[in-house]
A and B are shown apart, each in its own frame.
Chain A
Amino acid sequence: MAGEGIIVDNVSRIFGGLRAVDGASLKLARGETVAIVGPNGAGKSTLVQLISGVDKADSGTIHVDGVRTDRLPPDRIARLGVGRSFQTSRVFPALSVWDSVLVGVQPRLIATASGRLLDPVTESLGALLGLPFWRRRVAAQEAAAETALKLFGDRLWPRRDQPALGLSYANRRRLEIARLLAAEPRYLLLDEPSAGMNPTETEELTQLILDLRRSHPHMGILVIEHKLSLVRRIADRVVVLNQGKVLIEDTPDHALDHPEVVEAYLGRPRAGSNFQDAHHG
């Protein structure tokens, strides 16, 4: 199973008697944007938990750029270039916005050329004595953090010294994404990034993802999203999950208009042509 991309093959995760993910397979290539949609409880978030290693699959395999990851801890998977956000955005409450983003770049700060980590003694000496090699790394780290924060215009950069705790809900979500982007991931997994956002904020987020696609043409993006209007605008492909199984995988228009999808979402055949967002907020 070598090759580029995230390849999820026949993965299952069972909680008690519930098959949250039931033999799902999925591919995410670099440079493409894939949306996962499906009703509540379809297993969307569980799938992201499994890919990022936060939860472990009961069967099946996951590969990231040819490396088998389904048994690796989350930090190893993240260092392979997989950045993920959480459904309930997780920021470091007491850390300032600036420090939070720097934490996102920390793994790169301590990485060696061969992809391993500096040993703690070298890291300590670098940090304590401010050795030249360490200063160069810190400068690069700070530059990456600044770039990431500035992606969000004046939403985050002017607030960089505030604690993350004091940010508005939407800004916390932005901060989480900024932290991920600062690490320059090869793959970005976003778990309902627009949840709780108002229409203006959702539009801003849509623009951000579209901009990211342009500015990072080699990044693969996987988005779990309920707002189908957003999905139609950003996704190259849509994967519809239902009861842990992949129902359909197709272009947004084909997938979202498919009768089975409409039924899975709304429980009845599609009545009009104005089928839009399945959930608001």
Chain B
Amino acid sequence: MELFLSQILNGLAIGQVYALIALGFSLVFGVANIINFAQGALFMLGAFIAYSAIAWFGLPLIPAAIVSVVIVAILGLLLERIALRPLMGAPYIAPFLSTLAISTIIDQSAEIIWSPESQPFPASISSTTFFIGNAYITVTDLVIFGFGAAATIALTLFVSYTWTGRALRATAQDPAAAAQLGIRTDVMRQIAFGLAGALGALSGILVALYFQSVFPQMGIPFGLKGFAAALLGGLARIPGAVVGGLLLGIGETLASAYVGDSYRDAIAFSLLLLMLLVRPNGLLGGGKLNALGGSGAAAGAMPTTSLLASASSQLSATRAYYLPAWGFLVVGAAFALVPLLVSSTYVLQALIYGFIFALLAVSVSLVSGAAGILSIGHAAFFGVGAYAVAVLARPYGLSADVTLLAAVVLTALVALIAAIPLLKLSGHTAALGTLAIGQIGFLVFLNWVSVTRGPMGILNIPHPVLEVLGGLRFATTGQKYWLVLGLVVIAVVIAERYVSSPIGRTWRAIREDRLAAQASGLPVRRYILLAFAISGALAGLAGGLFAYVQQVVSPESFTVETSILILTMAVLGGLGNLSGAVLTGFALAILPEFLRGFEEWRMIIYGLLLLVALRVRPQGLLGAR
């Protein structure tokens, strides 16, 4: 019982921090109608700038925190200016993808500046412990809770009683009407982003104090938790964000105390998915989400918004270029000749990865482009396929026909189940749901040691043997090249047949207007689940082949970075356009081979490519379909 109460007090402290991150999301969402994916990156920067101010320049904690908050607030302003303002009137998904690109660039830059390792935070608050009855609480917890609560109250007062606060709220309610009344809505957007930056930095510093460490990858998990808290509370409300943050904090602290600390995040993200499943509008209601094409849109409350349509509608007017299904057979046949001409294992190996990522990009393009659910979690499906093959081939010694088939079927099933919480969602909310799925996948690979062997991974996966072809063994790189190429071509042809069939047309109709599709008599849920199952099957095959090629499977191949990379490929190729996905997936996968010595710049280059593409060619290289 003492433990229980202490955990609740402890949870309140960290929950207050989640509430602050959530407020950053809520402010920006309310005013600019955007889910700012980079909120987590701003949070991480807040922690690191404070770290540097203390560790490098010897500032005491308070001045360091002030410096950090000011700098990150300015970065928030810049973010709006650089990544979002040029996209006014762009397709619905462009601003979200733009913040995702910025987030990738910031995260990777942080790894270059501060190294990818976790570092101890050089300041701490007294660890004196108080007892309230039998429950204990540390001074750190109290200070964090106090600061968080003070910031929340200050923000509430600001938004409620100042002229600027009122103008912010007016802009949130109706930007056009606010502009008519002489409010500079663009300035309001900037203020919202600046405040979100300041809140992000403050929460980053508090988290650094709480866990006594900082690491460049902290942005995404904490950003996602902040988003979960915001969603729990109804997304666009200050009290909602606070309640959501506190509940999430208590929930995960209890979970880590009773289930195990390694499951802390997995439980937080599962809570998010559960929430999306049962109360997509948040615990405290909040109809605003509906109006923004968010969760309730699918339920029919308001028009759904086509992911690809835009105010200026130029996107849909552009042509899409794509190969018919048999075209992939021709391209595949041409590539089949390569091992006869090139003997370099190095080149063949690079091409093999190109094929695998082409297939992954197709998998995302199918579900994100055709069916309209942006996926930032496909690395999980990729991983399920890889682990299925690794486990069945290594400890059980099964042949490749069985293992690959199992990988395909199992991943299709996992994707199908994972899609269930997403059925009621659309747009940005669904995308964050997929991010949660991706994170859960990664945490399972990392922590389910008895099956996945945890961080060690599964080593020495045997060469594939196909029993159907009379025990044909693929041992050399050249042989594996043909195996991978053959299976990838077959899978892409099937995917293209789907997308070009009446099923593909139905997916696009659902993407364009879910309610109208349903009112036309189409079983919408069934078609979305089918899209996920097929996409999962493709990703599972890619994972299985990856396992055979690498001969090692470990969690670091299936991080959120991989998910973002695959999504970037699909977007750059033109969402829903499988030919485009094949082209960009292949090209971006072999690109690092030309960047030897600059590996750490890889994600930055992808992020920049995405950022530039969204401005100059949002429909993708070959045009969205």
Asked if B358 lies at the interface with its beta carbon under 8 angstroms from chain A, I say no
Quick one: which of B308, B316, B498, B526 contacts A128, CB cutoff 8 A?
A: B498
Taken together as a complex, chains A and B put the C-alpha atoms of A172 and B503 apart, in Å, by 23
B110 on the A face (CB < 8 A): no
Contact A94 B316, beta carbon cutoff 8 Å: yes
Chain B residues lying within 8 Å of A102, measured Cβ to Cβ, are 502, 505
Cα distance A79–B506 in the bound complex, in angstroms: 15
Q: Do A92 and B502 form a contact, CB below 8 Å, given A54-B515, A107-B521, A165-B313?
A: no
> Chain A interface secondary structure, helix, strand, loop or mixed?
helix
Judge whether B303 and A88 touch: CB under 8 Å. yes
15 further A-B contacts with Cβ under 8 Å, apart from A92-B509, A103-B520, are A74-B515, A75-B519, A75-B522, A78-B518, A86-B519, A90-B303, A90-B513, A92-B516, A93-B513, A94-B308, A94-B309, A95-B505, A102-B505, A166-B316, A183-B521
Contact B520–A95 (Cβ < 8 Å)? no
A182 to chain B, nearest CB (A): 9
- Chain B at the A interface: mostly helix, strand, loop or mixed? helix
The answer to whether the Cβ of B169 comes within 8 Å of any Cβ in the partner chain is no
Nearest 7 A/B pairs, CB to CB = A78-B521, A107-B521, A127-B501, A92-B512, A90-B516, A103-B509, A94-B316
- On chain B, the residues within 8 Å of A180 by CB distance are 520
- Residues in A neighbouring B509, C-beta threshold 8 A: 92, 95, 99-100, 103, 106
Contact of A138 among B303, B308, B502, B530 (CB under 8 A): B502
Q: How far is the CB of A205 from chain B (nearest CB, A)?
A: 20
Residues of A within 8 Å of B520, CB to CB, are 75, 78, 83, 103-104, 106-107, 179-180, 183
Does A109 reach chain B (CB closer than 8 Å)? yes
Query: Complex formed: what's the CA distance from A104 to B517 in Å?
Result: 8
Chain A residue with Cβ nearest B505? A99
Least distance between A83 CB and chain B CB atoms (Å): 8
The contact size tier of chain A is 35 or more
Distance between Cα atoms of A104 and B519 in the complex (Å): 9
- Shortest C-beta distance, A208 to chain B (Å), equals 20
Query: For A124, A138, A166, A179, which residue has the most chain B Cβ atoms within 10 angstroms?
Result: A124
Chain B residues within an 8 Å CB radius of A124: 498, 503, 530
Residues 106-132 of A, flagged 1 when their CB comes within 8 A of B and 0 if not, give 110100000001001001100110000
CA distance A123 to B292 in the complex (A): 34
Distance (Å) between the CB of A6 and the closest chain B CB? 15
Complex-state Cα separation, A84 to B515, whole angstroms: 12
Which residues of the other chain, B, contact A92 by a CB distance below 8 angstroms? 306, 508-509, 512-513, 516-517
- Cross-chain pairs A/B with CB under 8 angstroms, 8 sampled: A55-B300, A75-B519, A75-B523, A92-B512, A93-B512, A106-B506, A106-B522, A166-B316
Is B524 part of the binding interface, using a Cβ–Cβ cutoff of 8 Å? yes
B468: Cβ under 8 A from any A Cβ: no
Which residues of the partner chain A approach B519 to less than 8 Å between Cβ atoms?
Answer: 52, 54, 74-75, 78, 84, 86
In the complex, the answer to whether B515 meets A90 with C-beta atoms within 8 Å is yes
Measured between alpha carbons, how far is A138 from B500 in the docked complex, in Å? 13
How many residue pairs, one in A and one in B, have C-beta atoms under 8 Å apart? Answer: 113
Query: Closest CB of chain A to B306's CB: distance in Å?
Result: 5
Residue B497 CB within 8 A of the other chain: yes
Query: Does A91 count as interface, using CB distance less than 8 angstroms?
Result: yes
Q: Give B530 Cβ to nearest chain A Cβ, in Å.
A: 5
CB of B316 within 8 A of CB of A165, answer: yes
Q: Which residue of B lies closest to A84 (CB)?
A: B519
Choose among A90, A103, A163 the residue that contacts B317 (Cβ–Cβ < 8 A). Answer: A163
Given contacts A109-B502, A124-B498, contact A86 B306 (CB under 8 A): no
Q: Given A86-B516, A127-B498, A128-B498, do A106 and B505 touch, yes or no (CB 8 Å)?
A: yes
B423 to chain A, nearest CB (A): 12
Q: Which residue of A lies closest to B300 (CB)?
A: A54
- Chain B residues within 8 Å of A100, by CB: 509
- Bound complex: CA of A107 vs CA of B530, how far in Å? 16
Pick the contact of A94: B506, B512, B530 (CB < 8 A). B512
Question: Given the complex of chains A and B, what is the CA–CA distance between A179 and B317 in angstroms?
Answer: 22
1/0 per residue, CB under 8 A from B, across A39-77: the answer is: 000000000000010110000000000000000011100
Bound Cα distance A168, B501 (Å): 28
* Complex CA distance for A106 and B505, rounded to whole angstroms: 9
The minimal Cβ–Cβ distance linking A96 to chain B, given in whole angstroms, is 10
**Contact yes or no, B494 A128, CB < 8 A:** yes
Whether the pair A75, B502 counts as a contact (CB closer than 8 A) is no
Residues of B within 8 A of A242 (CB): none
The residue on B at minimum CB distance from A49 is B300
* Smallest Cβ-Cβ distance to B533: which chain A residue: A120
Distance in angstroms between the alpha carbons of A88 and B515 in the assembled complex? 13
Expressed in whole angstroms, the minimum distance between the Cβ of B620 and any Cβ of chain A is 13
State the Cβ distance, A81 to closest chain B Cβ, in Å. 9
- The answer to whether A79 touches B521 (Cβ under 8 A) is yes
Given A75-B524, A103-B522, A95:B512 Cβ within 8 A? yes
Q: How far is the CA of A166 from the CA of B315 in the complex (A)?
A: 12
Is B521 a contact partner of A75 (Cβ separation < 8 A)?
yes
Give A94's nearest chain B residue, CB to CB: B316
| B498 near A103: Cβ-Cβ < 8 Å | no
- Please give me the residue from chain B that is nearest to A128 by CB atom: B497
Interface residues of B in 451-487 (CB under 8 A from A): none
Chain A's closest residue to B624 (CB) is A94
Q: By the criterion CB–CB under 8 Å, are B508 and A74 in contact? A: no
| Nearest CB in chain A: distance from B575 CB, A | 11
Within the assembled complex, what's the spacing in Å between the Cα atoms of A102 and B506?
A: 9
List residues of chain B with CB within 8 A of the CB of A103: 505-506, 509, 517, 520, 522
How many angstroms from the CA of A47 to the CA of B313 in the assembled complex?
Answer: 33
- Inter-chain contacts of A165 with B (CB < 8 A): 309, 313, 316-317
Nearest-CB distance from A50 to chain B (Å)?
12
Q: Which residue of chain A has its CB nearest to the CB of B526?
A: A120
A94:B503 contact, CB within 8 angstroms: no
Instruction: Give the complex CA separation of A92 and B516 in angstroms.
Output: 8
Name A141's contact: one of B502, B521, B523, B524 (CB within 8 Å). Answer: B502
Q: Within B113-150, which residues are at the interface with A (CB < 8 Å)?
A: none
Inter-chain CA distance A195–B524, complex, in Å, is 29
Are A163 and B316 also in contact (CB < 8 A) when A54-B515, A103-B509 are? yes
- Central interface residue in B315, B503, B517, B519, by most chain A CB within 10 Å: B519
Residue of B nearest to A104 (CB): B520
In Å, the complex CA distance between A173 and B95 comes to 31
A110 to chain B, nearest CB (A): 8
Q: Please report the C-alpha to C-alpha distance between residue A54 and residue B109 in the assembled complex, in whole angstroms.
A: 48
Shortest distance in angstroms between B532's beta carbon and chain A's nearest beta carbon? 12
Q: Tell me which of A52, A84, A93, A138 contacts B309 (CB under 8 A).
A: A93
Minimum CB–CB distance from B11 to chain A (whole Å) comes to 35
Rounded to whole angstroms, the CA-CA distance of A100 and B316 in the bound complex is 14
